[in-house]
Structure 1
Amino acid sequence: MTARFTITRLGSQGDGVAETETGELFIPFTLPGETVTAVREKDRATLMSVLEASPLRIDPACRHFTECGGCAIQHLEAEAYHRWKRDKVAHALNSKGITCDIDALVPCAPQTRRRVVFTARRSEAGMLLGFVRALSSEIISIEECPISLTEIVAKLDALRALAELVCATTKSFRMTVTVTGSGLDVAVHESGKLGENQRRVASNFVIAQGLARLSIDGEIIIEPKKPAVLFGSVAVAVPPGAFLQATEAAEQAMADIVGRHLARARKIADLFAGCGSFTLRLAAKSEVHAVEGDAAALSALDRAFRFASGLKRVTSERRDLFRRPLTFKELNGFDGIVFDPPRAGAEDQSKQIARSDVPLVAAVSCNPVTLARDLRILVDGGYALKSLTPIDQFLWSPHVEAVALLEKPRRRR
């Protein structure tokens, strides 16, 4: 049944929130101050019409908006959108009783996303390639994507054809596409086991399309050109499906903030180092010990260092920092620390850092909630939170990165 609602605020996922007699109601694609009609189902509703629009409402940038599930908030004016993302970080800190001046959001430009995860599935109408509709399993096949680099968008038809060639399942599967200096790196997951003829046809297609690599479930099917990215001035040959920051500009912004903070450190620990986006930049001035649980990522980092020139000493250690964090005694051998964990944060590692006397710490996070928890641990351990910078690299989504810088007076030994 259609009813009328007034939107009072934006929720953490970008949905408009209406206050009702039975509690909060979340209505996607609405804005504060708007009067709308919607069909309610429990605590969510489907928007039917906007009766009174907010002055902050703008036309979305993409024809697929409201359908594909990739973007939540293309309809909000830019400055208000930036404030909303910055406020997400502020609210997370406030919930843990942390006060700090929060810098303005570092914005994200359209057409800068270099790593995109598509969902694909064979249907009666043909191969679907796109994104999953919110709260659904329906794949919306896309024809444009204004957040992504043009190199990806220009190859959408070719990627859809490649998905058809590698599909050996009736289920949905993922296709991660990354722009590298060598071309597009395509990593397919859970598409089924390929026969020899499928492998041969797919390989010929990759060559014909000028793609850098095709891998399936971590196995390289063909690699005409080894995919490489630059971390600072160092080229890194990334393994299949390797984690990279979503945009190059955001990665550089984070690296610049971290680098300035740790400039005085002679020896740095880079925890959750990945393929070395911080390590190899920091090594221009400091010795760095890189710790990472993924063997392939660590191998790529180590190889890049060995073939680079002009860097300080870099050592590496494979270690699951969730199960076995570096102890405070081990950390005390360093002058600075940077850590950039997955969304779950680094609670146990933060407890060890808090007990250490390392004077300079940079905490990087893609989740304000777990960042606030970890910062509370560090502050309680004697660290002073000097600055916090929110960074947008997931344009028009609820996600926001942040870099926090902390200091502690070093005890004399």
Structure 2
Amino acid sequence: MKIKNFMSIAAALSLSLVLASCGSNTENAKNEPADNETKVEEKADDTADKAEETENTEENTADAPEEDKDEEEKAANPTGEEVSLTMVTDFGGVNDKSFNQSAYEGLQKAEEEGSAKFDYIESHKEADFVPNLESALDSESDIILTVGYALFPATDEAAEENPEQNYVIIDNANENDRENLLGVTFADHQNSFLVGYIAGMQSETNNVGFVGGIKGVIVDRFEYGFRAGVEQAAREKGEPITVQVQYANSFNDQAAGKNIADRMYQEGADVIFHAAGGVGIGVIEAAKENDKWVVGVDRDQQDEAPDNMLVSTVKGVGDAVRQIIDEYAQGKFEGGEQTFTLADGEAVTIAYADNGIVSQEIKDKVEEIKQQIIDGKIEVPENEEQAIDQGWIEK
């Protein structure tokens, strides 16, 4: 393994002993009189153990600020080991306000905690994938992290050609069972069902929209999970709800997203859910300009439209990345697959905007539906075939 151990066993044991007594003694140290050293000497004859305890207190007092910092870092990174990563993004880049940014923020948090150091390489077109992965290999990182299913072919090939290098791809399975590749996926259809239900219940026109990026297995989960959730709302309302669907054939063309959303709003939609990366920023702009509602994706996007955002699906990419880092530091990293679902808490969830638009009654019903999905009582489709077979949409 390439992890560097920054302390000897003896030093680690010593540090843990100091930290164990540091928490309570640091506060007391602030009120100690100036002659604390004299008091230690006076009590030195009581017992050897008591003298040693007092001496430790004095040492902690002298270094209190540094020890507090060490204690916080120790709690965040119990192994004391630092993992190096290089992240390769897809087209959106680290400021896409969506999927890539979530991964980037997770790495930033891990670096702040002292558990990782990282660099990143942004891709702007598909032709960038292979050379960017080659550049990442030059970094000699413990893990090369690729973000987005579009990167799978290049990542899979790199993993095959470099069996000693560890790879992680976010949002795609390890389709060819590479021993050095971990595929991380999320049950996006499940939380998409929840926001579809919210959109359907909230809609006043019984007309909602879905804007996708590029058609594929991943975005299918968003689309058909959403459409099934809308159908659940239609059944409860006893009224049909129209779902407009259009793809931008891009993940970064904001103008295309805005144009599509403008048309959908003009054709009667009052809520639109986007699963389109940077394209979705254009959808959000259209919602603001048309004074309509919008549903965010992958991370809490309410800051982009505080008065128009109903809710966002949240994909805990950052949390997943940090978990992978911790497992690597503990020697538990291995190739294979890992899938997060609604049952995994913050890894797959939703985030309501704090503007009070969605009623508490709807929120309570969503919690019931969420539990029914977790318990298997509601089956959520991942694609068109399943949606038809399960009766959510007509052929």
User: TM-score range with shorter-chain normalisation?
Assistant: 0.3 to 0.5
Task: Specify which structure has the higher proportion of strand.
Answer: 1
TM-score normalized by the length of structure 1: 0.35
Larger relative contact order, structure 1 or 2 (CA cutoff 8 Å, min sep 6):
2
Larger radius of gyration: 2
